[in-house]
Amino acid sequence: MMKRDKWRLILVLAIVVIAAIITFPIQGKVHLGLDLRGGVHIVLQAKGTPGNPVTSDSIERLLTVLRNRIDQYGIAEPVLQRQGEDRIAIDLPGVEDPEAALDLIGRTAVLEFRQVLGESPRVPAKPVRSNYDNDEQFKSAEERWQLAKSEVDAYIRQMQDAVKANPDIIVAKGEEGGAYLLGKAYVSGKDLTKAETTFDQFGKAAVSLKFSTEGAKLFDEATLANVGKQIAIVLDGMVISAPVVQQRISGGEAQITGKFTPAEANRLAIMLRAGALPVSVEILENRSVGPTLGADSVRDGVRSGLIGAALVVVFMLVYYGILGIAADIALCVAILLVIACLIFLKSTLTLPGIGGVILTIGMAVDGNILIYERMKEEFRSGKTLMAALDAGFRKALVVILDSNITTLIAASVLFYFGSGPIRGFAVTLSVGVISSVFCNVVVTRSILSAILSARKGMTL
Amino acid sequence: MAAFNVSELRLPFMKYRTIWLTVSIVCIVISAGLLMTKGLNLSVDFTGGLVLQVKFDSRVDVADIRKSLSSIGQGQAVIQAYDNNDVLIRFQAQDEEVRRNVLSALKKDFGGLTVLKIDKVGPVVGKELRNQAVISLVLALLGILLYMAFRFKFRFGVAAVLSLLHDSIIMLGVYSLTGKEVSVSFIAAILTVIGYSLNDSIVVLDRVRENWSSVGKTGIVELVDNSVNQTLARTVNTSLTTLLPVIAMYIFGGEVISNFAFAFLIGIVVGTYSSIYIASSIVAEWYLRSPKF
């Protein structure tokens, strides 16, 4: 073995050892994307109004409120990022119930206690077929219901007309299709100091509130003025409940009851604690993957990758014999290097990224095929084994570089213009291309020169 | 070591170049026609919309799901069942209320269900992604053309980029024909295939460049033929080794990865063919028409 070859072999061994140290034990080291581990990715668009425009400051406050809500909800490693002028991207890994998370983030949660000026009749429950003996009875029940509903609708329209004349009053929808005509707001969510989930005397989930000194004073006045009358509890413009005030409440404490499940009451409490969003938001993009689907994808991806790699290994062995062994070892090193680089760069492995790694496996041996075919040609033209080896590597190198640099150009375009999973794909593809070129050119060569110097009489 | 050596077959590729160029032009025209008339089945990534993937605890019927959705006025949704309990539902509308209504209706009518995946993309984002996709394709092609023009003769670069356009248009045509969904990851797939196919073309063109000094003696047709034959073993073997994992991905990779693999599958086949026939035929034809250029 020549001295240069020896140094090359030592370099390769050193790199392999470092890569192995970085990689093993592999559990938990590769950072999986949300599409693989399950979770929620949301992009929010802040929506300003003329009276409340979106400013850099309101976005910062929006971030703070959202971060508070998410932290209190108990999500580990949430990522909140500003995107451009008026967007926020949120990644919530491992969320079991994306519905609930969305509800927590999307709601503005403006709480108000308002004077009740009037109430529309409620729409009765829609008839259910199983409660009637025959179709005719059911049909007439449905007609009666339609009639009742249109009466209520007409009543609500009247209220809405009244509102147009007077800007101080509003119409808010309540439960069961009814609506309320509401007067001035007495107390709002910003006067709260505490919001907690409790259970009322019937064991139903409720949210108990504590007001600040100022809020307690306002609430006291409101209850005093409305004994025997209703006060509406309004959340985001919807009346949650409108209890009749039995007596003056001066302690600064109140309770909201409504049709909550304990989980819903808990979310409401969190939103009230964390404060209302400074501007309203719209969910622009929402990609949620359940944890089971993510785990399935990882398993399928890894399995198909291993099967693919095994097929390539066998093909190279059958077609190229001893040369194939060197290429196979280099392929294993390339896969090891890709994983080590992904861990080292802390890049996120996504589903398309797994596709990228698998594709790299196929393309990784391309360099070796180029070199080997060149070597065979040189050998046939009468060169010695070592000379063929040398010429094969030298001549193939140019084309290997040319062809892989173009792949890198495509990958970097993907990186700059892609988003989310596509970026992950671009990184894995680039890492794959670079490590396979290294393995083709350096690793295979050092293995081959070791083998060939041991077996002098070999032919190709 | 291998007893069989493809390179010694000396296949007369260039003899049939007009036939294959015609075939390719016909394919491109058909693909372009399909794209203009039938169009692509763009996913919610590009159009905006809502996709729900739901797993029911018990077996459900698509017809029952449709009935349940019709009752809340979402009967026009595209419902796709795979497996007994797994269902994919697509909606054009994307407001939060639709999602909430749909899920509560399904819960009411079918009992237990798990939401496996929600994909909701607003129309603004959809449009942005569409622009991004077009920009990245154009930029990638430009970057490659620049590199090729720098490393090779200009006409080689043009030949390579033309064969890339050929591959991309035919891939899009196949997607239009099969009605397979075009999502953001398809753009990644198409760019990767461009890289792969270029790989192939470069190997052939590099050999043509290497043999170029003998163009006066042998003539361009024989020179290109020789070059293609000299690199044929490599072309075939690389296509095989790349196809093997891609086929494994297609069969075993699960729904999303196999969608990805399908694009690669077509791309590799078309890319291998085009590097042999299109890129090299263009170089040959061009030289025959204006050798001095």
- Is B8 a residue whose pLDDT tops 80? no
**What is the rounded distance in angstroms from the CA atom of residue A409 to the CA atom of residue A128?**
63
Selected residue with higher pLDDT from A80 and A454: A80
- Summary mean pLDDT of chain A: 82
Segment A118-133 shows an average pLDDT of: 75
B interface mutation test: which of A282, A374, A389, A399 has the most B CBs within 10 A?
A: A399
**What is the rounded distance in angstroms from the CA atom of residue A204 to the CA atom of residue A155?**
32
* A-B C-beta contacts closer than 8 Å: 238
pLDDT of B5: 60
pLDDT of A459: 61
Residue B140: list chain A partners with CB under 8 A.
Answer: 409-410, 413-414
pTM assigned to the model: 0.74
Question: How many CA atoms, within 13 angstroms, populate the side-chain half-sphere of residue A343?
Answer: 19
pLDDT of B113: 79
**What is the rounded distance in angstroms from the CA atom of residue A68 to the CA atom of residue A269?**
12
Residue A325: list chain B partners with CB under 8 A.
Answer: none
pLDDT of A34: 79
- Is B29 a residue whose pLDDT tops 90? yes
pLDDT of B293: 55
Question: How many CA atoms, within 13 angstroms, populate the side-chain half-sphere of residue B81?
Answer: 12
- Is A412 a residue whose pLDDT tops 70? yes
A313 — pLDDT class (breaks 50, 70, 90)? very high
Segment A308-315 shows an average pLDDT of: 91
Selected residue with higher pLDDT from B34 and A265: B34
- Is A417 a residue whose pLDDT tops 80? no
pLDDT in tens, A380-390: 888 888 888 88
Residues B1, A98: C-beta atoms closer than 8 Å: no
Work out the burial of residue B293: count CB atoms within 10 Å of its CB; fewer than 13 is exposed, 13-18 middle, 19 or more buried. Answer: exposed
- Is B79 a residue whose pLDDT tops 50? yes
For residue A329, the surrounding DSSP H or E stretch is helix A322-344
Segment B150-177 shows an average pLDDT of: 87
A406 — pLDDT class (breaks 50, 70, 90)? confident
DSSP A92: E
**What is the rounded distance in angstroms from the CA atom of residue B278 to the CA atom of residue B293?**
20
**What is the rounded distance in angstroms from the CA atom of residue A135 to the CA atom of residue B4?**
81
Segment B87-110 shows an average pLDDT of: 78
**What is the rounded distance in angstroms from the CA atom of residue B260 to the CA atom of residue B265?**
9
pLDDT of B3: 42
Query: Using an 8 Å Cβ cutoff, are B165 and B145 in contact?
Result: no
- Is B2 a residue whose pLDDT tops 60? no
pLDDT of A279: 81
Question: How many CA atoms, within 13 angstroms, populate the side-chain half-sphere of residue B101?
Answer: 16
**What is the rounded distance in angstroms from the CA atom of residue A314 to the CA atom of residue A316?**
5
Q: What is the ipTM for the molecules in this complex?
A: 0.81
A356 close contact with B: CB closer than 8 A: yes
Of B188, B240, B247, the CB nearest to A422: B188
Work out the burial of residue B112: count CB atoms within 10 Å of its CB; fewer than 13 is exposed, 13-18 middle, 19 or more buried. Answer: exposed
- Is B182 a residue whose pLDDT tops 70? yes
CA dihedral A138, A140, A143, A148 (to 10 degrees): -100
pLDDT of A310: 92
Segment B187-205 shows an average pLDDT of: 83
